[in-house]
Amino acid sequence: MPVTKESLSKALRTIQAFDSEIAHYEFSLVVGRALNFIHKRLRIGRVSIALLQNDAGGFRVYDAVTGIQGIESGDFLSFEKTVITEVTKQAKPLYRPEIKKLKTFYEVDKILLQSGFKSYFLIPLISNNQCIGTLNTASKKTDGITQDKRLILELLAPRLAHCLQNVLHIEELEKSRQTYQSLVESVEENHFIYIHNTEGIFTYLSSSVKNILGYTPEELMTHYTQYLTDHPVNQEVVRHSDLSIKGVRQPPYEVEIFHKDGRKRWLEVTEVPVAVPKGTVVAVQGIAHDITKRKKAESEIIKGRDFYLTLFDDFPALIWRSGLDAKCDYFNKTWMDFTGRTLKQELGDGWAEGVHPGDVERSVKIYFDSFQARQPFQMEYRLRHHSGEYRWIVDMGRPFYDLSGIFAGYIGSCYDVTERKTAEHALRKSEERYRKLVDSVTDYIFTVEIKDGQPASTKHGPGCVAVTGYTTEEYDADPYLWYRMVHEEDKESVREHAKKISSGESMQPIEHRIIHKAGTVRWVRNTPVPRYGNEGKLIAYDGLIVDITERKQAEEEVFESEERFRILLERGFDGIFIHENLMIIDLNERMAEMAGYPGSDLLGSNVIDLFPPDSQQRIHEYIRSGRRGVYEVELRRKDGHILQIEAFGANCKYHGRNARIVALRDVSGQKKLQEQLFQAQKMEAVGLLAGGIAHDFNNILTAIIGFSNILKMKMKPDEPLRINIDHILRSAERGANLTQSLLAFSRRQIISPRPVDLNVIIHNVQRILSRVIREDIEMKVVLSGKPLYIMADSVQIEQILMNLATNARDAMPHGGSFFIETGMRIMDDEFITRNGFGVQGEYATLSVTDTGVGMDEKTQDRIFEPFFTTKEVGRGTGLGLAMVYGAVHQNNGYITVYSEPEKGTTFRMYLPLLKSAQSDGSSAGESVFIRGGTETVLVAEDDKALRSLISSILSEFGYTIIEAKDGNEAIRKFNERAEDIKLLIFDVIMPGRNGKEAYEEILKIKSDIKVLFMSGYTADVIHTRDIIEAGLSFLPKPVMPNELLKTVRQILDK
């Protein structure tokens, strides 16, 4: 409902009346009058105030009007019992027109309902943006607190909150005042307590002030400065008081003040600022201590002390004194005459202005540290004389005490010690010069007296200390010290030298090592000078000992430098040379070997002549730029052969002249290896493609060959259509051979390597090879004298020879010669490095050579790629040499080709040689009679056509066949006929459970069951999938019917 002008006017009148009603300083009266006013004026059944008590965790309830059972005035309500908690948190009014419809009931809500109240309105009490509680009203009518009343209540609440907060603060201050009053009344008579406001006017003084200053507290209620004397110390009083008013606590300070009778009193004042909760200073309170008697005593002491100080004025020392504040308050006349300054300039800290800038910080620190510790001190510093020069003084200070033993300050005396410091400085300089002189002495003289041809005594000169570290006294005390200090490795030669000198044989100098007293090794040169008597006999000799350690070290460094340089020249790189303006002025032997010239031929020659034109341009660019770095060029040997070179060049000095040093490394072999790696990677990629294509043909060819054979077996020998079947079979067999060639190239053909003699294989296949080549081609076979046992598949070796013979025949259209040769070769590091392939060991070599048309280098680079051929269309598949390459590598061998156009071609194969082995004597092509049987065979094949083919072939030869389309069906059918089934024929890869998994499950049922696996996947895939293990039979697809029947019969007959 909208607020009317009449209702607003009524609200304003109510507010004015309310303000008048609660205008009081006592809390209980404010609460009682406020509650009664709202109850009667607004006719509200229940009115209460709840004040927040955070520390206690709830509210204190005040109800002076309508108490209800369960909530009494002064009761405490915890936060969780009442909805008031929500009102104080949100700081918003809350109106509940019908309590019984509330979804959530607090304990207070239930008490109100039990007491007949049906609605309530709660208003937060907010003062200075802080909620201090709530004004709570309730009615026994539903929606009993009208909008007009709620408006008035919301206007009254902040006024009530402000009034309550003020009276609470007043009560707290009154309690504090009472406590303070009781404290004040208990202070001693020579103390009084005071409070002044921020303007400096006293607002409170304790009664004891009358005993000290003669005034009553009421007489002093003015500004504090009215009672201060003009003593200089009072200049600090205002500053201290201002800082206290700003909230800065001050240390105790002294003030001189007038007594009521006009006398002067001394007070020691301690003040603290008084602040309200928000931190604003509202007053300053302090305690004043009467120290007049103490100050008088101090004054008398000072007067007496000052009298005695006059005795120091003519004292020859510079005398000073400082007080309790560490500031100097006295200097004698001698000090003033020395500095030429006035007493006013020196007092306090002024004396420090005369101290040398380099000494002032150190001196002041020593003084203040000693003052704080009450310890005597002595220090030296430079003080400015009245002449302007700085003179050195020694300052000795000590604490002094009054007659009662109380610390009173420091007194000190200073003496001019400039002459002493000058003498000390001169002495240090002299000692330093002497030490440098001694340190620079690297030799000394000794004398050896000779009697009867033997050393009698030895005297060492004073320079021995600089050279050996030992004094003359140490040598005199130990006659053999000179010998013991000789290095162990040099003692023998020194002893022999001394003997020869004593006998007069030799007076040659000797160089040897000694052990210095400090433990270091030193080199010395001993030069003896003989002295002879009147009779010409040797009576003594003088020796000059010179320290040559630095020279020896320099010689050693030069030697090591030369040695390192020589090693760099001889071993660091393949070849090194130095040139000056392109003329070679030095080189190592390896450089000459690389170039193919004698070293003498290269000295003085132009370096550019060693490089082809393309490389010359690159070299010129590097020399012009003066760059350091590695670059690649070609080196042309004397024989014209080109080497791939990695060069490093840098500017250098050679015998003081500007030159350039160049280091070369032959990387021809490395380049060749990189090319071979690229070729191998290319062949591997092509092989992967070829192997994949071959696999896809296997299943197709199996069906074609199998069903064609069945059809042929069912035809009569004179059947006219039989010839068509033969054509189909021949074409299918050609396709099978093609897939086998692809698998051989990709090294994924299934092989059966055994120890075989390479010579025996060649001997067995020789007759077949003679039919492959024509009559106009002469074939020569040269076999090694010893057996060459290798681990290989003999069928593959025969295929290699057949393919190479076929290629040789096609390369010699007009006849020629065809050679096969075997031998043995050891691959060592030199062979591997030179050829770029191989692993150390012994190898059987197989060389096949023809005298045909040959090939150029580009053709040789691609000769082993599948489907690459130089023959005309229709004469070759391009797989012959690819098959050879794959077969050789599949048998862990290597193959090389060497050919020149119109001169022929040589293929050389290297196959690892077995140290000792025997051939198994088996040979290809054994004929086996094919027979059938009556056993029951379980065939599992997911390809329906192949499954039907296998079943037809085996059924034709009497076997009983059970078919399954996958592994799971095979297990189920085996369970049904386990006793009858004698053989499993499983495809390796089938959907669901594969052949190997199905076989392992059946083994649990019948452990002796026999199995034959078939697959069109390559050997690598089978191995990777872990399908075929040692001892299990396997046939690769495509499967020839005769091969299938033969294998089945062999397995069943085991």
Domain boundaries, the chain: 5-172, 187-290, 310-422, 441-547, 555-666, 754-912, 936-1053
Amino acid at the residue 232? P
Task: Kindly report, residue by residue over 781-816, the tens digit of the pLDDT.
Answer: 999 988 999 988 777 788 888 889 888 898 898 889
Q: What is the mean pLDDT of residues 265-281?
A: 80
Structure tokens at 622: 């590097």
- Compute the distance between CA of residue 480 and CA of residue 483 in angstroms, rounded to an integer: 5
> To which residue do tokens 């008084």 refer?
274
Give the per-residue pLDDT at 696.
61
- CA-based end-to-end distance of the chain: 111
Give the per-residue pLDDT at 923.
41
Q: Is the dihedral of CA 795, 798, 802, 803 positive or negative?
A: positive
Question: Among 388-402, 635-649, 668-682, whose mean pLDDT is lowest?
Answer: 668-682
**Same fold for the pair 310-422 and 754-912:** no
Give the per-residue pLDDT at 691.
56
Burial (CB count <10 Å: 0-12, 13-18, 19+), residue 171: middle
- Compute the distance between CA of residue 140 and CA of residue 116 in angstroms, rounded to an integer: 6
- Better pLDDT: 95 or 6: 95
Give the per-residue pLDDT at 925.
40
- What stretch of H or E contains 754? strand 754-757
CATH code for the domain defined by 555-666 = 3.30.450.20
Among candidates 970, 976, 1023, which has minimal Cα distance to 999?
Answer: 970
In angstroms, what CA-CA distances link 510 with 456, 491, 528, 548, 974?
21, 12, 9, 12, 106
Give the per-residue pLDDT at 806.
87
Give the per-residue pLDDT at 561.
54
Give the per-residue pLDDT at 368.
92
- What stretch of H or E contains 268? strand 264-275
Among candidates 263, 343, 273, which has minimal Cα distance to 295?
Answer: 263
pLDDT band at 570 (very low <50, low <70, confident <90, very high): very low
CB contact set of 563 (below 8 Å; sequence gap of 6+): none
Phi then psi dihedrals of residue 44, to 5 deg: -105, 130
Average pLDDT, the chain: 81
Helices (DSSP H) in 190-291: which residue ranges?
A: 209-213, 235-245
Give the per-residue pLDDT at 821.
94
- Compute the distance between CA of residue 302 and CA of residue 403 in angstroms, rounded to an integer: 11
CB contact set of 962 (below 8 Å; sequence gap of 6+): 936, 937, 938, 939, 973, 977, 981
Residue 962 predicted with pLDDT over 80: yes
Give the per-residue pLDDT at 351.
92
Antiparallel, parallel or unpaired: β 538-547 and 521-532: antiparallel
Class of domain 936-1053: alpha beta
pLDDT band at 912 (very low <50, low <70, confident <90, very high): very high
- Better pLDDT: 127 or 70: 127
Class of domain 754-912: alpha beta
Structure tokens at 269: 């004042």
Structure tokens at 43: 């006719």
- Better pLDDT: 501 or 131: 131
- Better pLDDT: 315 or 682: 315
Give the per-residue pLDDT at 940.
94
Question: Among 307-316, 414-423, 861-870, 894-903, whose mean pLDDT is lowest?
Answer: 307-316
In angstroms, what CA-CA distances link 364 with 338, 352, 393, 1027?
20, 8, 15, 95
Contact 651, 658 (CB under 8 A): yes
Residue 338 predicted with pLDDT over 50: yes
pLDDT band at 849 (very low <50, low <70, confident <90, very high): very high
pLDDT band at 77 (very low <50, low <70, confident <90, very high): confident
The residues that bridge with 782 in the sheet, in sequence order, are 821
Among candidates 557, 577, 581, which has minimal Cα distance to 657?
Answer: 581
Q: What is the mean pLDDT of residues 625-647?
A: 82
Task: Note the Cα 776 to chain centre separation in Å.
Answer: 76
- Better pLDDT: 42 or 573: 42
CA 174, 176, 180 angle in degrees (round to 5)?
115
Buried b vs exposed e over 265-278: b needs ≥16 C-beta within 10 Å? bbbbbebebbeeee
pLDDT band at 355 (very low <50, low <70, confident <90, very high): very high
Angle between helices 668-713 and 880-890 (to 10 degrees): 110
Question: Among 50-59, 185-194, 399-408, 930-939, whose mean pLDDT is lowest?
Answer: 185-194
Give the per-residue pLDDT at 1041.
85
Among candidates 36, 35, 48, which has minimal Cα distance to 111?
Answer: 48
Give the per-residue pLDDT at 453.
74
CB contact set of 554 (below 8 Å; sequence gap of 6+): none
Residue 959 predicted with pLDDT over 90: yes
Structure tokens at 725: 């079947």
Cis peptide before 598 (omega within 30 of 0): no
- Compute the distance between CA of residue 309 and CA of residue 303 in angstroms, rounded to an integer: 10
Q: Which CATH number fits domain 441-547: 3.30.450.20, 3.40.50.920, 3.40.50.880, 3.90.1150.10?
A: 3.30.450.20
pLDDT band at 567 (very low <50, low <70, confident <90, very high): very low
Q: What is the mean pLDDT of residues 332-344?
A: 92
Q: Is the dihedral of CA 874, 878, 884, 890 positive or negative?
A: negative
Contact 527, 443 (CB under 8 A): no
Q: What is the mean pLDDT of residues 267-280?
A: 78
The residues that bridge with 77 in the sheet, in sequence order, are 59
Contact 339, 384 (CB under 8 A): yes
Give the per-residue pLDDT at 874.
46
Structure tokens at 187: 């202070």
Contact 349, 327 (CB under 8 A): yes
- Better pLDDT: 682 or 193: 193
Question: Among 147-161, 169-183, 844-858, 989-1003, whose mean pLDDT is lowest?
Answer: 169-183
Phi then psi dihedrals of residue 786, to 5 deg: -110, 150
Q: Which of 115-119, 182-186, 363-367 has the highest mean pLDDT?
A: 363-367
Neighbours of 31 (CB within 10 A): 23
Give the per-residue pLDDT at 687.
56
CATH 3.30.450.20 is right for the domain spanning 187-290: yes
Task: Kindly report, residue by residue over 687-730, the tens digit of the pLDDT.
Answer: 555 555 655 666 677 778 777 887 777 788 778 878 888 778 77
CA 250, 254, 260 angle in degrees (round to 5)?
125
Q: What percent of the chain has pLDDT over 70?
A: 83
Q: Which of 616-630, 642-656, 861-875 has the highest mean pLDDT?
A: 642-656
CATH code for the domain defined by 310-422 = 3.30.450.20
- Compute the distance between CA of residue 69 and CA of residue 561 in angstroms, rounded to an integer: 111
What is the DSSP-derived secondary structure letter of residue 1000? H
DSSP secondary structure, 665-690, as one string: EE-HHHHHHHHHHHHHHHHHHHHHHH
Contact 528, 543 (CB under 8 A): yes
Contact 445, 350 (CB under 8 A): no
CATH 3.30.360.10 is right for the domain spanning 5-172: no
Contacts 24+ apart (CB under 8 A), 381-386: 381/355, 381/356, 382/355, 382/356, 382/358, 383/338, 383/339, 383/354, 383/355, 383/356, 383/414, 384/339, 384/354, 384/355, 384/356, 385/338, 385/339, 385/340, 386/337, 386/338, 386/339, 386/340, 386/341
The residues that bridge with 48 in the sheet, in sequence order, are 136
Give the per-residue pLDDT at 177.
65
Amino acid at the residue 659? A
Buried b vs exposed e over 64-86: b needs ≥16 C-beta within 10 Å? bbbebeebebebebebebbbbbe
- Compute the distance between CA of residue 583 and CA of residue 587 in angstroms, rounded to an integer: 11
Contact 872, 822 (CB under 8 A): no
Task: Kindly report, residue by residue over 998-1053, the tens digit of the pLDDT.
Answer: 999 999 999 899 999 887 654 444 443 455 454 678 887 777 788 889 999 999 98
- SS3 assignment for 83-105: CHHHHHHHCCCEEECCHHHCCCC
